[in-house]
Amino acid sequence: MSINFNDFVSESLIEKKFSVQIYDMDMKFSTTMPVICNYLYDVGMAHSVVILKDNDYIPEDVVFVVTRFHVRIDRYPLLRENILIRSWLSPIESKHVVRNYLLINESGEIFGRAINSATTFNLKKRAAEDISGSFDDSKIITLDTEPALPNVFEKLPHVVSPDYENVVDVRYFDCDFYRHVNNVKYVEWCIETMPIEFLKKHRLYEIDINFRKESGLGDRLLAKTCADNRENTYLHSITSEDGTRDIVRMKSIWK
């Protein structure tokens, strides 16, 4: 059964279409996990704008920041393929807002699922901020339905003894308009610690990532990876240069 590929946005649900372009391709002529994550962020941002507008809340210094992101992709879309991403919020149970995503092909088949958590952050104070009183709860419409993935984020460990390690210098184009590193860059840097021959022969099936601290232009970071005790599973950490701050922790599963 085919689906409607017109964008649809409401307070409770957003559906947004994407057509895979040549600049989305990797060496295997396929999209990648970072490309998919960029699509997901675009959808979440578009829906957040609607929610803020409906609540007559225009933040000057406060933004939503993602704290966790869990993505599972069964098949990566190819060049010129059209896909649709459907997203909604789970019922709010804490200061973290949980967003769900389904990735759907033109035949209506689900080929990917994702879930993330986000909280509010004051850009001037550089700290989390509670703005729950700024919203009319009746206007933040959630869907009490089965989540795209289980709403359980496992605790991710710090990588102590890496098998692979890269030094990363944060560049101008690594940063977004909030003046800190774009979250998708961290996904790329974790993946790029893996040996090239491994990347050529394996496909990234799943990531679960915890964004712990921010970093910015001019920072020097260490990206570290070690094999987990589970098959085809790896653990990643991105830390400050001196190793005292964990910026990101991630788990990856490969096929």
Mean pLDDT, the chain cut into blocks of 10 residues (255 residues total): 55 89 95 98 84 58 82 97 94 81 96 92 64 50 85 92 97 93 98 97 97 96 97 97 94 98
What's the pLDDT at 189?
98
The pTM for the full model equals 0.89
Same domain, 187 and 88: no
Residue 148 belongs to some domain of the structure: no
Same domain, 177 and 129: no
Residue 108 belongs to some domain of the structure: yes
What's the pLDDT at 2?
44
Same domain, 135 and 168: no
Residue 146 belongs to some domain of the structure: no
Instruction: Read off the CATH number of the domain in which 106 is found.
Output: 3.10.129.10
Asked if residues 170 and 204 have their Cβ atoms less than 8 Å apart, the reply is: no
Three-state DSSP class for residue 148: coil
Residues 6+ apart with CB under 8 A from 43: 14, 16, 85, 87, 101
What's the pLDDT at 65?
81
What's the pLDDT at 52?
62
Same domain, 246 and 133: no
Same domain, 24 and 117: yes
Same domain, 103 and 13: yes
Same domain, 134 and 173: no
Domain count, the chain: 2
Residues 6+ apart with CB under 8 A from 227: 163, 233, 234, 235
Same domain, 19 and 99: yes
Q: Which two three-digit tokens encode residue 211?
A: 């964004």
How far is the C-alpha of 170 from the C-alpha of 162, rounded, in Å?
21
Three-state DSSP class for residue 80: coil
Residue 232 belongs to some domain of the structure: yes
Residue 50 belongs to some domain of the structure: yes
Three-state DSSP class for residue 222: strand
How far is the C-alpha of 67 from the C-alpha of 85, rounded, in Å?
21
What's the pLDDT at 1?
37
Domain that holds residue 130: 8-139
Same domain, 168 and 94: no
Three-state DSSP class for residue 92: coil
